[in-house]
């Protein structure tokens, strides 16, 4: 129930223009890189090896989480550095990470749960829905196919903010003064 409510709340937030603007302003490689924490899903494999968790749940859930977490910084780097395959890899990685979460929840629900005790019970209640939402937010941004934001053309896209790659240059050209564009207008001159 907590998982469903968290997901519903996370998707309802997308109805807010302000929230969508905040999500759009987060660099894609950050949304991907933060999922490195998924390597902690290896705890399921450890519990299986100790005989404390059934393999039909622990192996797919643990291996999927570990692979998602290991590849997160690599995919984030590919996307950040502008590799030609970076966007495609990021989309595939997001889909894999989401499929892993759905698989783990489906196995857990259909088998009556793998016997999670505190603190491991926090994973499906807390970590799974939030990881799924982060994948969703990333995938939405990647599928929009928006061109990189150029600080000199933000007036053309009023909700745009400079990407992290151009923000440093933009700030240095303006003597460190951050002046974001006003909706429907150009950024104030410095």
Choosing from 106, 124, 143, the residue where a domain stops is 143
User: 63: domain range?
Assistant: 2-143
Per the structure, the count of domains in the chain is 2
Question: Is 104 in the same domain as 119?
Answer: yes
pLDDT tens-digit profile of 90-108?
Answer: 999 999 999 999 998 898 8
Are 23 and 116 part of one and the same domain?
Answer: yes
Q: What does the pLDDT average to over 12-34? A: 93
pTM score, whole prediction: 0.72
Q: Is 24 found in the same domain as 78?
A: yes
Q: Is the same domain home to 81 and 31?
A: yes
My answer on whether 119 and 76 are in the same domain is yes
Question: Do residues 32 and 106 both lie within one domain?
Answer: yes
Give how far the C-alpha of residue 48 lies from the chain's centroid of Cα atoms, to the nearest Å: 28
The pLDDT-based confidence of 61 (bands split at 50, 70, 90) is very high
**Alpha-carbon span 68 to 128, nearest angstrom:** 13
Query: Are 94 and 17 within one domain?
Result: yes
* pLDDT at position 179 over 90: no
pLDDT-derived band of residue 181, with 50, 70 and 90 as boundaries?
very low
Summary mean pLDDT of the chain: 80
Does the pLDDT value for residue 165 go beyond 70? Answer: no
Instruction: Say yes or no: 24 and 110 in one domain.
Output: yes
């Amino acid at each position: 129930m907590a998982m469903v409510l968290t997901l519903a709340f996370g998707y309802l937030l997308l109805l807010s223009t302000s929230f969508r603007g905040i999500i759009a302003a987060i660099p894609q490689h950050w949304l991907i890189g933060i999922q490195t924490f998924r390597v902690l899903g290896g705890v399921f494999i450890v519990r299986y090896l100790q005989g404390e968790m059934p393999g039909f749940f622990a192996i797919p859930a643990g291996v999927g989480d570990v692979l998602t977490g290991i590849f997160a910084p690599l995919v984030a780097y590919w996307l950040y550095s502008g590799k030609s395959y970076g966007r495609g890899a990021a989309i595939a990685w997001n889909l894999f990470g989401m499929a892993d979460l759905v698989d783990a929840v489906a196995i857990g629900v259909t088998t009556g749960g793998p016997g999670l005790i505190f603190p491991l019970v926090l994973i499906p209640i807390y970590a799974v829905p939030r990881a799924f939402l982060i994948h969703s937010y990333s995938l939405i941004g990647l599928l929009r196919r928006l061109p990189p934001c150029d600080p000199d053309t933000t007036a053309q896209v009023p909700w745009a903010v400079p990407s992290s790659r151009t923000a440093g240059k933009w700030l240095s050209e303006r003597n460190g003064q951050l002046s974001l564009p006003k909706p429907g207008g150009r950024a104030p001159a410095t």
